[in-house]
Amino acid sequence: MKKYIWGFVFVCIVNTTIAKPTRLIDLNLAGKHPITDIYEWVSLQAIKYANIKKKALIKFLGFEDTREWEEFRSNTKRPNRFHPDWYKKEVMPAWLKNCIYNVLTYYKVQTCLNIIDIITKHPSSSSGQVKRIIVRTENFGTIEFRASQICSGVSHIDYNNHYNCGEVTMKNNTHIIFLDPIKIQKLKLTNETIEAWIGHELGHVIHDDNFNEYLALEFYEQETGKNNLESLPLFIDYVKACEVAADIVGTFGNPKWIKGWITFFKKLDAKVEFEKNSTHPTLKERLEYLQEIYKAF
* Residues 156-170 pLDDT 10s: 443 345 578 888 999
* 130 beta partners: 92
| pLDDT number for residue 273 | 56
Mean per-residue pLDDT of the chain: 86
Nearest C-alpha neighbor of 93 from the set 49, 148, 56, 174: 148
Measured distance CA(71)–CA(68) in Å, rounded: 5
pLDDT exceeds 80 at position 98: yes
Rg (CA), the chain: 22
Assign 125 a pLDDT band (cuts: 50, 70, 90): low
User: pLDDT per residue over 19-51, tens digit each?
Assistant: 455 789 999 999 999 999 999 999 999 999 999
pLDDT exceeds 60 at position 121: yes
Q: How many residues does the chain have?
A: 297
Of 69-73, 235-239, 273-277, which gets the smallest average pLDDT? 273-277
Task: Let me know: does 99 contact 194? Beta carbons within 8 Å.
Answer: yes
- Rounded to 10°, the helix 283-296/255-268 angle is 150
- Mean local confidence (pLDDT), 65-90: 86
| pLDDT number for residue 107 | 96
Measured distance CA(274)–CA(284) in Å, rounded: 11
Assign 258 a pLDDT band (cuts: 50, 70, 90): very high
Q: Which residues make Cβ contacts (< 8 Å) with residue 216, sequence separation at least 6?
A: 57, 58, 61, 229, 235, 238
Task: Let me know: does 229 contact 217? Beta carbons within 8 Å.
Answer: yes
Q: Which residues make Cβ contacts (< 8 Å) with residue 283, sequence separation at least 6?
A: 159, 265, 268, 269, 272
| pLDDT number for residue 177 | 95
User: pLDDT per residue over 44-74, tens digit each?
Assistant: 999 999 999 999 999 999 999 999 999 999 9
Task: Let me know: does 242 contact 50? Beta carbons within 8 Å.
Answer: yes
| pLDDT number for residue 61 | 95
Measured distance CA(229)–CA(221) in Å, rounded: 8
> Strands 141-150 and 174-179, how do they pair?
parallel
Q: Which residues make Cβ contacts (< 8 Å) with residue 226, sequence separation at least 6?
A: 220
| pLDDT number for residue 240 | 95
